[in-house]
Amino acid sequence: MSRWHHINCPNKSCNSSDAFSYKEGDEWGYCFSCNTSSPINALSESTMTKPTQEATSKLNIEDIAEYPIRGFQERAIKKTVTEFYKVRVSYDTEGGIDAHFYPYTKNNTIVAYKERKLPKKFTTHGDFKHVELFGQSLFPAGGRKLIVTEGELDCLSVAQAQHDHYNVFYPVVSLASASQTKQLLDLS
């Protein structure tokens, strides 16, 4: 399995320290800051810094399962909702939440987490192929109504609004990724 590397952009006019990405074995890389492509063999030694731990490591899902659960005050999502959906968080060195971890299941068992590094950088940990919808395992099959959102925070927000109004959790789930939207539309 090839690893992705995030390094200094080789474009002299770009000041990004980690937006240039390339995969081991590829001949070209791309900078998501200045939107330019560059050949890997043209990179200088000073540009080819070691990839960051964050960019290359995968976390163990058993370890993530031990992370704390907290509400998201800035989104008005209370701990009651994040507990119900089993959303975990990690903290930065100043004690602020720096990442959310959304659990994904297969056959009602957590097999992966989608990490949202704040503000909006996503990584997956575990076996993320063919996972169920976010929150799907929390609701029994056969209900009459279901709300499907395109993002986990959207799902949590709708669940919070319903819980505030009805004091119960009605089925609200989220797609695992935007590409899943196309898969669902192709089914109809």
Res 10: pLDDT: 79
Distance of CA 67 to the CA centre of its chain: 15
Res 67: pLDDT: 95
Query: Quick one: which H or E segment has residue 125?
Result: strand 121-126
- Indicate the SS3 state at residue 179: helix
Res 171: pLDDT: 97
**Cβ density class 90-105: b for 16+ within 10 Å, e for less:** beeeeeebebbbbbbb
Give the residue from 61, 63, 168 showing the smallest Cα distance to 106.
61
Residues facing residue 174 across a β-bridge: 134, 149
**E strand residue ranges, 62-108:** 88-91, 97-106
**Identity of the amino acid at 19:** A
Other CB atoms within 10 A of residue 21 CB: 17
137-146 residue pLDDT tens: 999 888 889 9
Tell me which residues of the chain have a pLDDT lower than 70.
Answer: 1-4, 16-18, 42-57, 179-188
CA–CA distance, 152 with 176 (Å, rounded to integer): 8
Res 177: pLDDT: 84
- Indicate the SS3 state at residue 64: helix
Fold of 61-187: N-terminal domain of TfIIb (2.20.25)
Where exactly does CATH 2.20.25.180 map onto the chain? 61-187
CA–CA distance, 38 with 36 (Å, rounded to integer): 7
6-15 residue pLDDT tens: 777 777 777 7
Res 151: pLDDT: 93
